[in-house]
Structure 1
Amino acid sequence: MGELKERLLLAPLRGWALIGFGMWNAILWSLVVTAGSLVSSMGVGLLLLPATLAMLRSTANTARRLAREWGGVEIEEPYRPIPPELAAEPGLGGMLRRLLARVSDTQTWRDFAWAILDSVVGVTIASFAAGLVLYGVYGFVIGILWPTLTNAGMNDWYTFVHVSKSGALTNLRWAAFPVGAAFLVGGAYAGPALIRLHARWTSVLLGPTATAREAALNRRVARLTETRADAVDTQAAELRRIERDLHDGAQARLVAMGMNLGAAEALIDQHPEAAKALMAEARESSAKALTELRELVRGIHPPVLSDRGLGDAVRALALDSPLHVDVTADLPGRLEPAVESAAYFAVSELLTNAAKHAHATRVRIDLWHRDGRLRVTCTDDGRGGATVGSTGSGLAGIERRIGTFDGVMAVRSPVGGPTEVTLEIPCASSSAKTSTS
């Protein structure tokens, strides 16, 4: 029933939506041409061109999303990234250089060509998807209401059927019913296929070229090389921290405990009271050493993370935090252990930042997994102004940690707050649900 609904209802509706989308593209490329003409003639277009190009790119990204959701065709964004130093450059000079970078991107011109052609090619494909089912319905309408429609001045022909003409035995209008049914059946099967065809047409110009794929692959290799080096350095620093904590903490206490027990053994016959005091001190040292070892193990990999998964581990963090923390987790199953660990310690660092640097009182943490990606959003009501790489923020360390898994981080923190940090890490999920939501 759901498939029939999609064939008879969704495909025509999507077809009409794509027709409107094509009409918008006609307006959009006209705006681009106008802005470009103003740039070349009087320079006024410099004020219009950035916004127009942003609209063009946003429209192209919407088309990529519709191609994925409606046509099942995945289209990657092939735009060249703007260098971070250029993205952060202030003033008119920075704006002009960023505009030049976008204009010199080959994909911008491919987007422009798509906007021009989609108003013709795309609308044509979408018109068939939208019109077949509706034309089949019209066959039944004209077969029933033909006197009213023809008296109102409408055409009395339906394809090859002259509905107003009577035959020898019956009125020919009844022939409109089987013809309309044929259009309905054809539209039911051809509509979804035409929507997929439209998605494939969209991928021709909006998808990455072979050169763009190679460039993207090179950038990814360079990023993975950099993050691998960061991972090695982080792992080495972590090992040094563990060695230092063991040497200065538990190891020192165990050595002192051994010395106290040796002294107690020597004093137990002549000075039993002194021996008892040393043994009590040794017992206290053993308890402190055990506590430090537990904290050290928890710092390496918390037991609750292994036993209950990321959602419940983050809830445990929230309970230990001095802030009021709300946690929402929509995780359908267990994630890869390394990804869970990276996300857990990233959230821990974000909570520490919110309490120590942002002076927040409330924090909201959302975790969800969709389409092979884990997304973590942490929002606090602190004073804001956080930037990646700022002194003591820890955000740069979080970025390096998730970068090992090809993850990305986005920070939105205006002065005065609130601060919103979003982490996205590609990862798979098992089928078994192990964390409550």
Structure 2
Amino acid sequence: MDAAIATRVLGQTLSRALHATGRGVVLVATAALSLVLFVATTLATAFILLGIGVLLLPLITPLVRRLTGLCRELAGQAGVPIGTPYLPGPSLEPGVVGWVQRCRSILTDPATWRDLLFLLLNVVVGFALGLLPATLLIYSVEGLVLSAGFWMLMRESGVDFWYGFTAMDTWPHAVLGALVSLAVFGIWLAATPHMVAGHALFAKALLGPSERAVIASRMRHLSETRSDVINIQATELRRIERDLHDGAQARLVAIGMKLGAATRQLRTNPDVAETLLVDARNATATALEELRCLIRGIHPPVLAERGLEDAIRAIALESPMEVDVTADVPGRLAAPAESAVYFAISELLNNVAKHANADRASIDMRHEEGSLRAVVIDNGRGGADASNGTGLRGIERRCATFDGTLVLSSPEGGPTVAILELPCALYSPRTSSS
């Protein structure tokens, strides 16, 4: 058992070192491109006064940002995530004025100059930290090959070869060379992931978002979500108005007319008046049911009275599919957050019932570390895409209003997994544990 564990650990270590060496080779390529783009960006900036730089800089900058984006991606693979640091771009006018505005936006963004500094330093840092892992690996393999007997072939050819500080001319020296190569191999195994991680930390120091960029990104997000909230509220108000006008209001008007007719017929034709009163009573019951449905659409009574867990279970019971619910939310959320989660999960189940051709789904909902996480899985045909419909996009906008996210995985053939996360706090104990 110990040997199997040691073999597995060695295999994992070797795999990490090989992957890190591969990323190191990519870093060497980024170092070469950094030199080219640094020179190009510097010349374009210098030629702005001549006018040609205004045309060149907006063409070169996307290439620079694509390269730095690749470095951020490599840093993320090494366990050092780096956010996007660029300020939101302005609305651009067409023609030459737009090119000037774009150039000005690039030059006034602090991230542009940090990218330029990164390009300059990455020529050295990226080349050194990227090339060193491959060099160590090749050097260790070279020592093992020489020590295995290749040194004898070189001696017969009249070539004196040294490995490190050891002359490869006798078997004792070959054994010493093999030990050195094994030591180099051990250094490669242990140090290579740290070298790539070191480059990731270097990249984060220069390519990470500044405080100004974080604030600007936050303001843009708040502006977008505020706009979404306003649009959602306006749409919801129009729906309520339409439902009231076409449903309950029309029925109440009809009830009033029936009651007026019954009043006129009461003395002269009591039988007709009785029929009209019965119709009015039935219409009253129908109008009341429509009002209750409308209220459930605004804020379901089960959600207000019994909390999110029982409200989700009620949705599951009403679904035409078999839906398993597992929930652990030991308290009540703020009413807007509860409503957002309720309607988001309701819309997800409606989408599954309408489009997924599924007969079974599951909901797992938990509140952990200050966030509510709900996972909805169905056994349908898959292929769901938020960009192809308004339902999923509406759920994304509803979650974004609360800084939440919707992550969708829906390969063709299924299953579809929708993960909804919403940062929120618990305010009071739940009202029901059923």
Local SS of the residue matching 1:377: helix
Aligned residue pairs total 346
2: CA distance, partners of 1:316 / 1:292: 26
Q: What per-residue deviation string (whole Å, max 9, x for no partner) do you get for residues 352-402 of structure 1?
A: xxxxxxxxxxxx9845xxxxxxxx32279xxxxxxxxxxxxxx9x999867
Check whether the contact 2:47–2:53 (CA below 8 A) recurs between aligned residues.
Answer: yes
Counterpart in the other structure of 2:429: none
Alignment of 1:229-240 (within 5 A): 231=229, 235=233, 238=236
Alignment of 1:191-230 (within 5 A): 191-208=192-209, 212-214=210-212, 216-217=214-215, 220=218, 224=222
2: CA distance, partners of 1:139 / 1:332: 58
2: CA distance, partners of 1:135 / 1:261: 99
Q: Tell me the amino acid that sits aligned with residue 78 of structure 1.
A: P
Shift of 1:161: 2.2
Choose the corresponding residue for 1:156, options 139, 161, 167.
161
Check whether the contact 1:7–1:189 (CA below 8 A) recurs between aligned residues.
Answer: no
Counterpart in the other structure of 1:15: 24
Check whether the contact 1:135–1:180 (CA below 8 A) recurs between aligned residues.
Answer: yes
Distance verdict in 2 for CA 1:134–1:404, change over 3 Å: same
Distance verdict in 2 for CA 1:307–1:201, change over 3 Å: closer
- Give me the TM-score of the superposition, normalised by structure 2: 0.63
Counterpart in the other structure of 1:94: 98
Q: Tell me the amino acid that sits aligned with residue 65 of structure 1.
A: E
Counterpart in the other structure of 1:421: none
Whether 1:65 and 2:63 are equivalent positions in the alignment is: no
Distance verdict in 2 for CA 1:300–1:230, change over 3 Å: same
Q: What per-residue deviation string (whole Å, max 9, x for no partner) do you get for residues 64-86 of structure 1?
A: 111112x21122222222223x3
Greater CA drift, 97-106 or 292-301: 292-301
Counterpart in the other structure of 2:109: 105
Shift of 1:177: 2.1
Whether 1:128 and 2:132 are equivalent positions in the alignment is: yes
2: CA distance, partners of 1:155 / 1:96: 64
Whether 1:32 and 2:41 are equivalent positions in the alignment is: yes
Distance verdict in 2 for CA 1:14–1:229, change over 3 Å: closer
Check whether the contact 1:250–1:292 (CA below 8 A) recurs between aligned residues.
Answer: yes
The runs of 5 or more residues in structure 2 that have no matched partner are 1-7, 301-311, 320-341, 373-381, 406-418, 425-434
Alignment of 1:3-402 (within 5 A): 3-40=12-49, 43-69=51-77, 71-84=78-91, 86=92, 89-144=93-148, 145-148=150-153, 156-164=161-169, 166=170, 170-208=171-209, 212-214=210-212, 216-217=214-215, 220=218, 224=222, 231=229, 235=233, 238=236, 242=240, 245-246=243-244, 249-250=247-248, 253=251, 271-272=270-271, 275-276=274-275, 278-280=277-279, 282-283=281-282, 286-287=285-286, 290-291=289-290, 293-294=292-293, 297-298=296-297, 303=315, 309-316=346-353, 366-367=384-385, 376-378=386-388
2: CA distance, partners of 1:123 / 1:332: 49
Identity of aligned residues (%): 32
1: CA distance, partners of 2:159 / 2:134: 21
2: CA distance, partners of 1:401 / 1:307: 7
Distance verdict in 2 for CA 1:233–1:22, change over 3 Å: closer
Q: Tell me the amino acid that sits aligned with residue 140 of structure 1.
A: L
Distance verdict in 2 for CA 1:284–1:150, change over 3 Å: farther
Q: Tell me the amino acid that sits aligned with residue 85 of structure 2.
A: P
Shift of 1:146: 2.3
Shift of 1:106: 2.0
Check whether the contact 1:253–1:289 (CA below 8 A) recurs between aligned residues.
Answer: no
2: CA distance, partners of 1:152 / 1:18: 38
Shift of 1:404: 2.9
Q: Tell me the amino acid that sits aligned with residue 79 of structure 1.
A: Y
RMSD of aligned C-alpha atoms? Answer: 4.8
2: CA distance, partners of 1:103 / 1:230: 31
The runs of 5 or more residues in structure 1 that have no matched partner are 320-325, 341-363, 368-375, 381-394, 409-424, 431-437
1: CA distance, partners of 2:273 / 2:151: 114
Shift of 1:124: 1.0
